[in-house]
Each structure stands twice: as structure tokens, then as C-alpha cells.
Amino acid sequence: MKIVIAGSGNVATQLGRALLGAGFPVAQVWSPTYANAAELAARLGAAAVAEAGGLDRDADLYVLAVKDDAIPAVAAGLAGVPGMVVHTSGTTPMHVLSKLPAHGVFYPLQTFSRFREIDFSDVPLCLEAGSTAVLEGLRTLAGRLSSRVYEVSSAQRRSLHVAAVFANNFSNHLFSIAAGVLNDSNLPFDLLRPLIRETAAKVQDGMPAEMQTGPAIRGDQQTIDRHLGMLQYKPEWARLYLDLSESIKKTGK
């Protein structure tokens, strides 16, 4: 199977490594910045390509792991290729690739950092395809990389991306605020690390609605008021504290 990757960011890097590890070498890497393409190509034992027009036309799979707004242009450059062309975006609908005969989406739902290795066998791979043949092709490949393969429509993928923003981006921001509160009291963030680990561990078996604890769910207004008083020096944090507490009280979870 001849595979080509467009992009050299976190997804391109981690997916490229996972493909190589599963016995699917990558033939070519192109990126808007040649130096980045060269660096990733070297890591993957692939050839770096300077111009998108220089990509081979006979690959079996083109993975477009570029920025969302760059996808249409790269896709246009691949017009007429018979191989499968997929993007890896959580927010981009599949139809931006609809002019290509064998198109689909290969969305790995995880937070990737360039230099942090991810166990891909545990990454949910969300697939969508323009035809049954492409779906089967993607399914076979995905099954070699991960034990978690899902078929997800464009509309569902958009919801999934919103959910991921809550679960990852926003909770990380709350960790950031917590670190700020500690720092303002000369306490190390290390104090909170076991709690954060356990918070994530608890929802691995159960549902978060069953795990909710704290003053808001208990209706402990005295503690909430004390906390708001303590946060008066930082009105943005007090406001988020209030909004999140109200939301917990209202929904009961």
C-alpha cells in the first residue's frame, strides 16, 4: 500500500509514526514548509516533496493532515487521482473532498503533541467514506492501527469535536486556573496532580454524571460563598466559578 501524507504537524507526525509501526511505510511527505516536510520525512524514512504538485499520482492513500482551511486547495491539486483521499479534521465536513472519486475522513480523536508518543492502539479512529469500497479500505487500515474504530457522520463528527473541546481544551483551562490559584498562595501545582489523575480515572469505568462531587452538587452555599469571596481578587475566575456552580446545581450533575 503506497501512502502519501500532506502535512507535518502533530497529527501528521503521530499518524505517520503509527502507520510505520503497523507495517505501512509512508512514501512521501509534503508540507507547506519544506523544512518541516523534510524533518518528518526523515523520521518516517519517506521522501520529502517540495511542491504539492510533485506528489505521486499513483498512491493508494493520500492523508491530508493539513490545517482545516488548507484542505480544499490540497484536494484540488489531487483532482483525478484514483487513490483514496482522506482528511483528518474534526471540524471539516467530508463534502469538501467530494470531487475526488475515492474520498473519506480518517479522524483520530486524541490530543497530539509532536514530541509526546501516543499509544495509537487506544486512539478512537472515526471514519466516514463516500463509498462502501472506501469505507472498507479505511476500516481495514484503521483496524491495524487501533482497537477503537467507529463510523461517524460529518454531523456527528462536529458534535464530537465540540464534546472534545469541553473534555480536553476547557478542562485543561480549568487546570490552568487551578494552577494560578495555587501559585497565588505559594503552593506547588504538584499538589493537584494526583487529584487530576483520579478525576480522569473515575470516568474510565463510570459516567461523569455519577461522579460529580463538591459544594455545588451538595448545595453547600456556605462553601460556595466562601470560595467566591476568596476569588474576588480575580473577577474572571469568580465568574467562571459562579457559572459552573450554577450549571451543576441546575443540571444536578
Cell 507535518 identifies what position?
A: 8
Q: Measured from the CB atom, is 98 or 169 closer to its own copies?
A: 169
Q: Measured from the CB atom, is 85 or 118 closer to its own copies?
A: 118
- Tell the smallest beta-carbon distance from residue 204 to its own copies (Å): 6
> In 3D, which of 73, 102, 105, 78 has the Cα closest to residue 89?
105
Q: Measured from the CB atom, is 101 or 212 closer to its own copies?
A: 212
Write the DSSP assignment of 140-192 as a string of letters: HHHHHH-S-EEE--HHHHHHHHHHHIIIIIIHHHHHHHHHHHHHHTT--GGGG
Cα gap 149→122, rounded to integer Å: 10
Cα gap 37→35, rounded to integer Å: 5
Q: Collect all residues with Cβ–Cβ distance below 8 Å to 88 and sequence separation of at least 6.
A: 7, 11, 15, 63, 64, 65, 105, 106, 107, 108
Q: Measured from the CB atom, is 57 or 67 closer to its own copies?
A: 67
- Tell the smallest beta-carbon distance from residue 83 to its own copies (Å): 28
- Tell the smallest beta-carbon distance from residue 210 to its own copies (Å): 9
Cα gap 61→63, rounded to integer Å: 6
Identify the sign of the CA torsion 8, 147, 193, 168.
Answer: positive
Q: Measured from the CB atom, is 82 or 172 closer to its own copies?
A: 172
Q: Collect all residues with Cβ–Cβ distance below 8 Å to 140 and sequence separation of at least 6.
A: none
Q: Measured from the CB atom, is 33 or 213 closer to its own copies?
A: 213
- Tell the smallest beta-carbon distance from residue 118 to its own copies (Å): 7
Query: For the purposes of burial, counting CB atoms within 10 Å of the CB of 134, is it exposed (0-12), middle (13-18) or buried (19 or more)?
Result: buried
Q: Measured from the CB atom, is 1 or 196 closer to its own copies?
A: 196
- Tell the smallest beta-carbon distance from residue 208 to its own copies (Å): 4
- Tell the smallest beta-carbon distance from residue 245 to its own copies (Å): 8
- Tell the smallest beta-carbon distance from residue 55 to its own copies (Å): 27
